[in-house]
Structure 1
């Protein structure tokens, strides 16, 4: 199977999620706009994490001949999104805030940093 299509799909959801997530971190919380964009952000992050699980690791140790350490960040995302959702539904703003910061930092910043490292597909696309 050609996994490049999965990489395009992954990028098509993670780039908007990064932009929306950055915006949400900077604006006033609890507004209708925050809530609407937050739902889009969370769904985008869930989808991109699920897509990434179908992409085989290209570097480092492999588990089950497919998964690498970077996939742990996908699992972190699959945990942080529902946790953040249920925290805010129960009125636990601090729990929601923690989950969203972990999601942004781990699911976007750390994973994105790994994705642009030499030897990775995105690095070859950006650098050549």
Structure 2
């Protein structure tokens, strides 16, 4: 599989979201909270995650079972989008604890866990990485 525009957009947004996520989470921790930084990084992260989720709809791989061109990993698309919307609903209702848990869960589930699976040798990015390192 070659690097199509959809894959390039998806990859760039996912990597940026993975990098910005800790900043948004950290800005509201501890004694010295930084609400402006948290809000700016949070909105950037949400935008990147929405871009990542929507761009995934235009990517079709050949590994694993498929249904109408979508694989199991595409289940993260509605989970991510509903999680983002739900998190803002929690925030609007003043349920900060649920907002925090939802955003942390999305970061670790959609960025970290999905990122680890992306590095499997049969995936595009994983294959490129491991072959460049001479492992496969």
Report if TM-score (shorter chain) is over 0.5: yes
The answer to whether the aligner puts 1:46 opposite 2:50 as a matched pair is: yes
CA distance in 2, matches of 1:81, 1:105: 14
* Alignment equivalent of 1:73, drawn from 68, 72, 76: 76
Which has the larger Rg?
A: 2
Equivalent-residue separation in structure 1 for 2:121 and 2:88 (angstroms): 35
Matched with 1:21 is 21
Aligned mates of 1:73, 1:86 — CA distance in 2: 20
CA offset at residue 3 of structure 1?
Answer: 5.9
User: Could you tell me which residue of structure 2 aligns to residue 37 of structure 1?
Assistant: 41
The Cα offsets for residues 57-89 of structure 1, whole Å up to 9 and x where unpaired, read as: 33111011x111111112211111111111112
- For 1:70, what is the secondary structure of its paired residue? helix
Whole-angstrom distance in 1 between the partners of 2:62 and 2:119 = 12
1:61 maps to which of 59, 65, 68: 65
Corresponding residue SS for 1:55: coil
RMSD: 1.6
SS, match of residue 88 in structure 1: helix
Match of 1:10 in 2: 10
2:120 matched to which residue of 1? 117
- Structure 1: 5+ residue stretches without partners: none
C-alpha separation in 1, matches of 2:107 and 2:18? 8
The Cα of 1:4 is off from its aligned counterpart by 2.4
Which residue of the other structure, out of 103, 107, 111, is the alignment partner of 2:106? 103
Q: Offset of 1:38 from its aligned partner? A: 0.5
Output the TM-score relative to the length of structure 1: 0.89
